[in-house]
Amino acid sequence: QNFVRVTTMGGSKPPRRTRPNVLITGTPGTGKSSLAERLAGACSLFQYDVSKVAKAENLCESYDESMDTHVIEEDKVLDHMEERLGTNEGGVVVDYHSCDLFPERWFDLVVVLTCDNSVLYDRLQSRGYSEKKIRENVECEIFQTVLEEARESYHENITRVCPSNDIEEMEMNEKDIVQWIGKWAE
């Protein structure tokens, strides 16, 4: 798996971050938080779990009872994230189940995790999700909703699709991204 760094064609280049920012996205249950946590530990990155931060910082606009989930207030979340991601410092790994709300300029790598539907179903069921919530999330994976968001929102050179069905694939994803981060600094 080869990751490519985007370079600016013509004109002036924006100031380069000292460390890369990475977005880990995918349908709930594909392993985003696990991968982000492992990357943060392996590469000394700051982990920004959007859902957890939104709850902790009171950045949610409502609670959707039918889906048993908080609905983030996007403008407030983006303002909060801008303080960290809008700098040249970098070194942040973000995880969230959607990606089209974040500006492309924040990220040097966007990783979309995918998962086989039967594996995803079992993972979501083990979390105690309702049948409705499981069905909607599995349908999102079937229709590749998050992958399409990423393809529409970010340059293809920074977007990477990684299967995340079992521990071997998860470990390979971590290894490849850790290597990419190491090469990025060169």
What pLDDT is attached to residue 14?
56
In contact, 60 and 66? CB cutoff 8 Å: no
What pLDDT is attached to residue 113?
98
Mean pLDDT by 10 residues, the chain (186 residues): 44 71 98 98 97 97 92 96 93 97 97 98 97 97 97 96 98 98 88
Q: Which amino acid is at 66?
A: S
> What is the DSSP annotation of 38-77?
HHHHHHTPEEEEHHHHHHHTT-EEEEETTTTEEEE-HHHH
Q: What is the pTM of this model?
A: 0.91
What pLDDT is attached to residue 185?
76
Beta strands 69-72 and 92-96, pairing class: unpaired
Token digits for 141?
């994976």
For the stretch 135-184, pLDDT in tens is: 999 999 999 999 999 999 999 999 999 999 999 999 999 999 999 999 98
